[in-house]
C-alpha cells in the first residue's frame, strides 16, 4: 500500500471558517464569541468535503493519507490561549470524525493548542485527548509566534514535558509551523521551508536524542534546505565535534517527500538514507497548478519517486509504506488490526 504521510484538511466546510470568524470577532466584542462548538455538520457533509482528496488518492494511486488540520489555519499566534484551545479542539474533532468515517483513506494527526510564551504543559490535556481518540501523531510548531522565532529552540528543556508524553504515547511529531504574521516572510514559500531548516539546525546543535532516544520527528517539505545543503550540515556537525548525522540525528529525524520536481527528489534519495524518507504530497495544496513542462501537477510527488531508477523494490517499499509504519507505530497497529500488516509481518505469516 501507499501511505501519504502529509495531508491537510484544506477543503473544510464553510461552517468551520464561520466558526473561526465568530471566535476572532468575539475577541473584539465578547457577545460574538460562539457558545456552541457543534458546527452542525453531518457525516455526509464531512465525507463530501474530502472528495477532492479521495479523487487524488484514486488518480495517483495512493491508499491512505495521514491527515491533519490545515497547517496555516492552526494560527498559534492568533487570539488568546483560551480561544486557541477551543479552535484546536474543534479542528481536531473534524479530523477525528473524517478518519472514523473513512478509516481506509485517512489516519488522524492533530494540532496542538500552542500559544507564544505559554508553558508547553498547557497543550498536554489536548495531547492526551488525541491519544485516547487514536490519533497517530501531532504537528508541533517550533515557532508559535508566526514568523518571529520567539520560542526557545526545540532542544530546550521548555519542550521536554511534551516530549515525555510523545514518547509514552508512541506518537511522532511533524515539526510544522503555521501561517506567518511577519510581512517579510511568506508562509508556504519561506516560513514553512525556513521552519524545516531551522528545526533541523536546532537539533544538530543539541543532543536532544540522548535524553529522548525514542522521540521521533518528521521534518516536512523534504527537510527544507537540508538535503540540498547536506554537505554543509555534515561539515558544521563535524566542526562542532558532533557525531556523524546518521548517529547524531537520523535515528530520530525523518524527512517527507514534499519536493515538487524530479531533481529535488532525486537529490534526496542520493544523500538522505532511504530509511529516513517518507512519501508525502502535502495535499491539498501548497502548490495547486500543473507543471507545463511535464503536464502533471507539481505536487504529484509519486511520479518523481517512481522515476528514480536507482531505488530498489525494498527502497520503494520503505519510502511508500515501511518507514511510515515504523515511525507511526500506532498507524501500523491500526492497519494490522484491520488485516493489513506490513511486509515484515506478511513474511512471518
Q: Name the one range near a second copy by CB under 8 A: 34-42, 43-51, 170-178, 195-203.
A: 195-203
Inter-residue contact 151 to 144 (CB < 8 Å): yes
Alpha-carbon span 123 to 139, nearest angstrom: 12
310: contact with a second copy by CB under 8 A: no
Alpha-carbon span 90 to 243, nearest angstrom: 43
Among 23, 72, 194, 276, binds a second copy (CB under 8 A): 194
Of the residues 282, 314, 321, 346, which is catalytic?
Answer: 282
CB neighbour class for 210 (10 Å; exposed up to 12, middle 13-18, buried from 19): exposed
186: contact with a second copy by CB under 8 A: yes
197: contact with a second copy by CB under 8 A: yes
Among 11, 25, 118, 149, binds a second copy (CB under 8 A): 149
Among 254, 279, 298, 328, binds a second copy (CB under 8 A): 298
227: contact with a second copy by CB under 8 A: yes
What DSSP line would sit under 308-323, residue for residue? -TT--HHHHHIIIIIH
Among 29, 132, 239, 346, binds a second copy (CB under 8 A): 239
Alpha carbon distances (Å) from 103 to 98, 115, 135: 8, 31, 12
234: contact with a second copy by CB under 8 A: yes
**Is 12 a known active-site residue?**
no
Residues in 88-147 at the binding interface with a second copy, rule: CB under 8 A: 142-143, 147
CB contact burial 163-175 (16+ within 10 A = b; e otherwise): bebbeebbbbbbb
Kindly report the number of other CB atoms within 10 A of residue 252's CB atom: 18
Catalytic residues: 282
Using CB under 8 A as the criterion, which residues of the chain lie in contact with a second copy when the complex forms?
142-143, 147-153, 182-186, 188-190, 193-194, 197-198, 201-202, 204-205, 221-222, 224-225, 227-236, 238-239, 259-261, 263-264, 266-267, 270-271, 286-289, 291, 298-299
Amino acid at each position: 500500500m501507499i501511505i501519504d504521510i502529509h495531508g491537510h484538511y484544506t477543503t473544510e466546510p464553510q461552517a468551520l471558517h464561520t466558526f473561526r470568524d465568530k471566535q476572532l470577532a468575539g475577541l473584539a466584542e465578547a457577545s460574538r464569541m460562539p457558545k456552541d462548538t457543534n458546527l452542525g455538520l453531518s457525516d455526509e457533509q464531512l465525507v463530501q468535503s474530502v472528495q477532492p482528496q479521495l479523487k487524488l488518492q484514486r488518480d495517483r494511486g495512493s491508499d491512505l493519507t495521514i491527515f491533519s488540520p490545515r497547517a496555516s489555519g492552526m494560527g498559534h499566534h492568533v487570539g488568546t490561549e483560551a480561544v486557541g484551545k477551543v479552535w484546536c479542539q474543534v479542528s481536531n474533532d473534524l479530523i477525528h470524525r473524517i478518519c472514523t468515517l473513512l478509516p481506509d483513506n485517512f489516519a488522524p494527526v492533530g494540532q496542538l493548542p500552542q500559544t507564544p510564551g505559554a508553558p508547553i504543559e498547557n497543550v498536554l490535556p489536548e495531547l492526551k485527548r488525541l491519544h485516547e481518540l487514536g490519533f497517530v501523531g501531532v504537528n508541533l510548531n517550533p515557532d508559535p509566534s508566526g514568523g518571529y522565532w520567539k520560542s526557545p529552540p526545540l532542544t530546550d528543556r521548555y519542550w521536554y514535558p511534551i516530549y515525555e508524553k510523545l514518547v509514552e504515547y508512541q506518537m511522532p511529531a511533524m515539526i510544522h509551523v503555521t501561517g506567518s504574521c511577519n510581512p517579510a516572510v511568506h508562509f508556504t514559500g519561506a516560513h514553512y521551508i525556513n521552519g524545516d531548516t531551522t528545526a533541523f539546525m536546532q537539533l544538530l546543535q543539541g543532543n536532544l536524542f540522548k535524553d529522548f532516544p525514542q522521540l521521533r520527528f518528521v521534518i516536512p517539505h523534504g527537510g527544507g534546505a537540508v538535503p540540498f545543503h547536506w554537505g554543509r550540515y555534515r561539515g558544521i556537525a563535524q566542526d562542532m565535534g558532533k557525531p556523524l548525522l546518521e548517529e547524531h540525528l537520523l535515528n530520530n529525524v525523518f524527512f517527507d517527500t514534499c519536493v515538487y520536481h524530479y531533481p529535488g527528489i532525486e537529490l534526496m534519495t542520493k544523500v538522505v538514507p532511504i530509511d529516513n524518507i517518507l512519501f508525502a504530497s502535502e495535499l491539498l495544496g501548497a502548490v495547486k497548478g500543473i507543471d507545463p513542462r511535464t503536464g502533471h501537477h507539481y505536487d504529484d510527488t509519486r511520479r518523481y519517486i517512481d522515476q528514480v531508477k536507482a531505488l530498489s523494490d525494498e527502497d520503494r517499499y520503505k519510502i511508500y509504506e515501511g518507514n511510515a509504519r515504523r515511525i507511526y507505530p500506532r498507524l501500523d497497529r491500526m492497519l494490522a488490526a484491520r488485516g493489513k500488516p506490513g511486509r515484515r509481518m506478511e513474511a512471518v505469516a
